[in-house]
Structure 1
Amino acid sequence: MTGPDDPDAAPGRAPEGAPRTRWSELTGHATGADYAARFAALAQQGHHVHDEADLCAALLPAGAKVLDAGCGTGRVAIRLAELGFDCVGTDVDESMLAVAREHAPDLPWFTADLAGLRADDLGGATGFDLVVLAGNVVPLLAEGTVPAAVASVAALLGPDGLLVAGFGLDRAHLPARCPVTPLELYDDACAAAGLELVQRLSTWDGDPYDPAAGYAVSVHRSRESRTQP
């Protein structure tokens, strides 16, 4: 999936002390308002902008606990909260979180790098029923940190918790200048973190997986009860 999930601004400079990720290299942590405006325009034109939330909601019982990891402006978490789920959001980009906090001040939003994420970074929250990585979060992590990020979010899952991630598999489905993250690398990271693949799709709206589609939505399940290290 390309479009407003993906940054297309000129490379910027992240604020002093902000984590260095591919996202920060592309945007400089300064695109929150523009990102939100692009989705608002799509919604006003009649486009459905909640495919990620719809898929997650279909996998969970009412009231389940969800972590929107790499939440951006909070679009997915806010929609899931509207549907009755218990949501927490986290992102490295303060410009995105500022929009999330403005739109949903009652939801908990935390600044954190997924590669080292711990329950303490989320106000002690853990035992999530589902963690979602939407909007090309995986390929926009810092180079070499996919295994660490997957291990971090997997450790926050409760028993039988789900990790749902969608990202582009070729340059046509990724932001300009964002390298491809092989699906095999992500799957290996999930396996190392004690997760097993239970479903794979080509779109958030449920199209069957086709390797030629250039995009994958993967649902992995925790194989055992996990505790925060």
Structure 2
Amino acid sequence: MTSRIHAFDALDNFRDYGGYDTAAGRALKTGRLFRSAHQASVTEADLERLAVFDLGVVVDLRRPVERRRQPSKRAANFTGQVLESDLDERGEAPHITFLKSADLTADSGRTFMTGLYRDLPFAPAHLDLFGRYFRALGETDRPVLIHCAAGKDRTGMLAALTHHLAGVHHDDLMEDYLLTNTAVDLVGRAPAIAEQLKGFTGREASNDAVVAFMGVEAAYLDAAIASIEERHGSIDGYLEQALGVDAALRERIAERLAA
């Protein structure tokens, strides 16, 4: 397993998304950019390991209902800033509606995920948190952790935007996004996840359907990027127009993250 992935007792998909080369001929620092799933189930040993990273900013991309259902645990000596949004307070999460109502097949999972990604960059809470995250990157010299529930979709989108802003090659950007499929071992865990879904929905899901829904595919991120380009002309246009990331902020972020 790649050295980017850090093993915990009960924290999935924790990994360093720094270290990639950039178009400026420099590399992103390692030990500064981290991504993961939620921290509601972490053990005391996990909290001790997290404390070692000295996180200065934690960006929780989950909805309020998700945060209430699975509240994050923090080490007693945690001194970082936590960024959250309450803009999606009402309504059921789209993936919950899908699991309750749609046919749980690989094709339906891929169709749902592709549609989800086309809308993901424009949800009010995401616009709010993505913009605040980039402003934090321009201000802090301490490590930053971004996470959602599984650490793959909302988190994957934000990590990809970070890589683009920093000048990471698209191939590396996509490789990092797809690393979720290695970090979580979905194929190996699919039967257990299928059982959990059965208990939740009362319906059977094939292993292929679980992997399609719980994993990531290049087509998902491609759909988000295409949607961004349709509305803003380019990812750079989206960063500036939708998130307020101007040239000065980009320069501050690049300087702070460059090795």
Question: TM-score normalised by the shorter chain: which range applies?
Answer: 0.3 to 0.5
Higher relative contact order (CA 8 A, sep 6+): 2
The structure whose residues are more often helix, as a share, is 2
TM-score (norm 2): 0.37
Between Structure 1 and Structure 2, whose CA radius of gyration is higher?
Answer: 2
TM-score (norm 1): 0.40
The structure whose residues are more often strand, as a share, is 1
